[in-house]
């Protein structure tokens, strides 16, 4: 008959917990990869519309960069 001390029970529990955490980490990594792929697909789908529509905030430039074309701004 073999006797196991309290230290061995603790070590076995820690090993089981570590294995469980490793499995959870693997699942989380899969979820993160799936989310990154989905986000990339959404960016790629949205990109053509953004290129066609443009961004009105980017069309004017930073104030003080120079004069606006004649008639472009109401004084």
SS3 string, 41-62, reads HHHHHHHHHHHHHCCHHHCCCC
pTM for this one? 0.49
Is the residue at 70 inside a domain?
no
- Does a structural domain hold residue 13? yes
According to the model, what pLDDT value does residue 67 have? 67
Tell me, yes or no, whether 38 lies in a domain.
Answer: yes
Tell which wins on pLDDT, 44 or 52: 44
Structural domain count of the chain: 1
34 found inside a domain: yes
The stretch 41-65 carries a mean pLDDT of: 65
Which residue from 13, 8, 36 is spatially nearest to 21, judged by alpha carbons? 13
Within-domain flag for 61: no
Within a domain: 3: no
Q: Which domain holds residue 42?
A: 8-47
Segment 22-41, tens digit of pLDDT: 999 999 999 999 999 999 99
The predicted structure's pLDDT at residue 1: 43
């Amino acid at each position: 008959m073999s006797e196991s001390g309290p230290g061995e029970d603790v070590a076995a529990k820690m090993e089981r917990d570590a294995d469980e955490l490793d499995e959870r980490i693997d699942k989380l990594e899969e979820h993160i990869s799936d989310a990154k792929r989905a986000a990339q697909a959404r960016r790629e789908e949205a990109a053509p519309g953004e290129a066609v529509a443009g961004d009105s905030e980017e069309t004017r430039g930073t104030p003080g960069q120079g004069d606006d074309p004649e008639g472009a701004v109401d004084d």
